[in-house]
Amino acid sequence: MDQTAKFFAMHKILPTLLIVAALCANACGCPPDEKTGTLNLTAAAQSFLPYNGSETLTFTDETGAELTLQLPRGQELKTDQLCYRTTCTEAKYNTPSSCEYYDADSRRYTFFGAGNTVVVDLLVYSAVYDYGMPVFYDALQVGFSVGTPSIIGHHLIEARFTEPFDTTKLGISDFFQERPTLVLNGQAFSNALAYEEGNMGVYIEQGTGIIGFKNAEHIWVVQQ
């Protein structure tokens, strides 16, 4: 074949190659994520924080001074895509992958007080226990800040599986501690949860919600 014939032959083949490449690019991309189930919060998780979003809480410190916390954003309900297994990963860098997922509910209550310098953020949510398997748990996350200092603690509410729960799989170390008895400014609580870090602390009671918190200067206790 002479050079002219080769030239025209290549020009005939090139469009076909471009079409094949385009089809391959589309066909080789990962498919959409696949929903395989729904996770509604368990009864235990729903009852852990008994708020409806309209509450105003009043706390007193050791001097009797009052501090009021409010919920300007009310009750925040969300449904998030909770991936538990990757089903496709493209070879190209920074390209999207696909997963199997559950729709998972969560509830959030963020209390603000003292000109927004005091913040207590309460979140009940579901999470993946062992990635690659559809096994989940419900948990509580509490954030507390007074100005710049802040702490975040976690509590496992309920597992959605029967095998033993190995917390080392979660990558979380800041867990609440159970306190059969807890006294804050002379007020006693039973079966409370406490998370303390440095001079700061936050205290929760199941079915009551936030019962107190502290920093280096004061301890505040909810008025019931």
Q: What is the pLDDT of residue 24?
A: 44
CA distances from 11 to 21, 24, 103, 127, 133 (A): 16, 20, 51, 55, 51
What is the average per-residue pLDDT within 73-101? Answer: 89
Judge whether 210 and 221 are in contact, CB under 8 Å: no
User: Rounded mean pLDDT of 204-210?
Assistant: 94
Read off the pLDDT band of 28 (50, 70, 90).
Answer: low
The answer to whether 182 and 221 are in contact (CB under 8 A) is no
Q: 101 and 24 in one domain?
A: no
| 4 and 87 together in one domain | no
Let me know whether 23 and 47 are in one domain: no
Residue 176 has pLDDT above 70, yes or no: yes
Pair 16, 43 in one domain: no
Residue 120 and residue 47 share a domain = yes
Q: Is the pLDDT of residue 23 over 50?
A: no
For residues 53 and 74, the answer to whether their CB atoms sit within 8 Å is yes
What pLDDT does 17 receive? 42
Let me know whether 107 and 206 are in one domain.
yes
Domains contained in the chain, number: 2
Q: Are residues 37 and 134 in the same domain?
A: yes
pLDDT average, residue stretch 166-189:
94
What's the DSSP call for residue 72?
Answer: T
Its sign, for the CA torsion 70, 74, 80, 84, is positive
On average, the pLDDT of the chain sits at: 88
Kindly provide the residue ranges of all beta strands, DSSP E only, lying in 46-160, ordered along the sequence. Answer: 56-60, 66-70, 76-89, 97-113, 118-128, 136-146, 150-159
DSSP string, 149-191: -EEEEEEEEEESSSS---GGGGT---B-EEEEEEEETTEEEEE
Calpha distance 74→188 (Å, rounded): 29
Model confidence over 99-156: pLDDT tens digits?
999 999 999 999 999 899 999 999 999 999 999 999 999 999 999 999 989 999 999 9
Q: Are residues 217 and 169 in the same domain?
A: yes
The verdict on 110 and 211 lying in the same domain is yes
Whole-angstrom distance, CA of residue 149 vs CA of residue 155: 21
**Residue ranges making up the domain that contains 18:** 1-30
Together in a domain, 132 and 22: no
Task: Give the pLDDT confidence of 32-54 residue by residue, as tens digits.
Answer: 999 999 999 999 999 999 999 99
pLDDT of residue 16: 47
Is the whole-model pTM more than 0.75? Answer: yes
Q: Tell me: do 129 and 52 sit in the same domain.
A: yes
- Which class for 103: exposed (0-12), middle (13-18), buried (19 or more C-beta within 10 A)? middle
Rounded to whole angstroms, how far apart are CA atoms 218 and 113? 15
Per-residue pLDDT at 3: 54
Residues 171, 71 share a domain: yes
Lowest mean pLDDT of 58-62, 100-104, 147-151, 200-204, name the range.
147-151
